[in-house]
Amino acid sequence: KAGVTQTPRYLIKTRGQQVTLSCSPISGHRSVSWYQQTPGQGLQFLFEYFSETQRNKGNFPGRFSGRQFSNSRSEMNVSTLELGDSALYLCASSFRGGVTSYNEQFFGPGTRLTVL
């Protein structure tokens, strides 16, 4: 099976711009989660989508949004970029069939966003 893919791998933007990142999960996986990783704050959960619905959301401002398509591919959008948004954005997919007692996640390589 192909792994989780994220595009683009690197991105440079300027303050005030907006950006869209894309994630394609492993085939058959219906859950996609997004994380932000910075040296100062570590890995922080942004949101999770399952069957095109946002199920969980982390503590991030409304500038951060996402969506999931019927093929489980997901995008996240950050509007009005700030310098502090510079980070590695990681996407993870998992298979969630009904009530599960585990949640192994498979991560993509990440998109490194630099805001100037």
Partner 1 sequence: SQQGEEDPQALSIQEGENATMNCSYKTSINNLQWYRQNSGRGLVHLILIRSNEREKHSGRLRVTLDTSKKSSSLLITASRAADTASYFCATLNSGYSTLTFGKGTMLLVSP
Q: Does 92 bind partner 1 (CB under 8 A)?
A: yes
Q: Can you give the chain as a three-state secondary structure string?
A: CCCCEEECCEEEECCCCCEEEEEECCCCCCEEEEEEEECCCEEEEEEEEECCEEEEECCCCCCEEEEECCCCCEEEEECCCCHHHCEEEEEEEECCCCCCCCCCCEECCCEEEEEC
Q: Amino acid identity of 80?
A: T
Pick out residues in 57-86 that bind partner 1 (CB under 8 A): 58-59
Among 16-24, 63-71, 75-83, 106-114, which window interacts with partner 1 (CB under 8 A)? 106-114
Q: Is 70:81 a contact under the CB 8 Å cutoff?
A: no
Among 1, 42, 62, 98, binds partner 1 (CB under 8 A): 42
Mask for 20-39, x = binds partner 1 (CB under 8 A) = -----------x-x-x----
Q: Does 109 bind partner 1 (CB under 8 A)?
A: yes
Minimum CB separation of residue 38 from partner 1 in Å reads 11
Name the site residues for partner 1 (rule: CB under 8 A): 4, 31, 33, 35, 42-45, 48, 55-56, 58-59, 88, 90, 92, 96, 101-110, 112
